[in-house]
Amino acid sequence: MSSLYLLSLLLTADSEKAERCFIENLEDSVGCTSVFKEWASSWARRAIIHNAIRLIDLRPADEISIPNPAPRGSVANVRPEITAVVDLPVFERFVFVLSVFERISDQDCSLLLNCSRR
């Protein structure tokens, strides 16, 4: 559970949005009985990613050079390495988290984020 919340926090860069994203994921999973037990973890992670993209209203063309608008206090009391990721510009943070932490391929990242692979 804590790794799913951490994923939400890294993607949204805001503790309140991370909680909403995490709770929406739980609500979605309660109504879904068609997920095999072996796939539950990857399904939950994918659902968190989709919820975060929707919650942030991520647009690749607009977000590449815009810094993170979240106030620094919104992720208070976290480790410095988490703060470093949260401080990345929005689109770059999503790409970094998905490709480095989640080990999602460039092709799958481009599909999830609705952008080209470059």
Instruction: Give the residue ranges of DSSP H helices in 1-118.
Output: 2-12, 15-30, 40-56, 60-63, 80-86, 90-96, 106-112
Q: Domain range for residue 34? A: 2-112
Is the pLDDT at 63 greater than 50, yes or no?
no
Say if 52 falls within a structural domain.
Answer: yes
pLDDT digits over 78-101, tens only?
688 888 898 899 999 999 999 999
Distances in Å between the Cα of 105 and the Cα atoms of 56, 71, 109 are: 22, 30, 6
Quote the pLDDT of residue 98: 93
DSSP 88: S
Evaluate whether residue 118 is within a structural domain.
Answer: no
Q: How many domains does the chain have?
A: 1
Residue 56 forms part of a structural domain: yes
pLDDT in tens, 8-44: 999 999 889 999 988 887 776 666 656 566 667 788 8
For the chain, how far is it from start to end, CA to CA, in angstroms?
Answer: 33
The verdict on residue 95 lying in a domain is yes
pTM value surpassing 0.85: no
**Looking at the domain assignment, is residue 54 inside a domain?**
yes
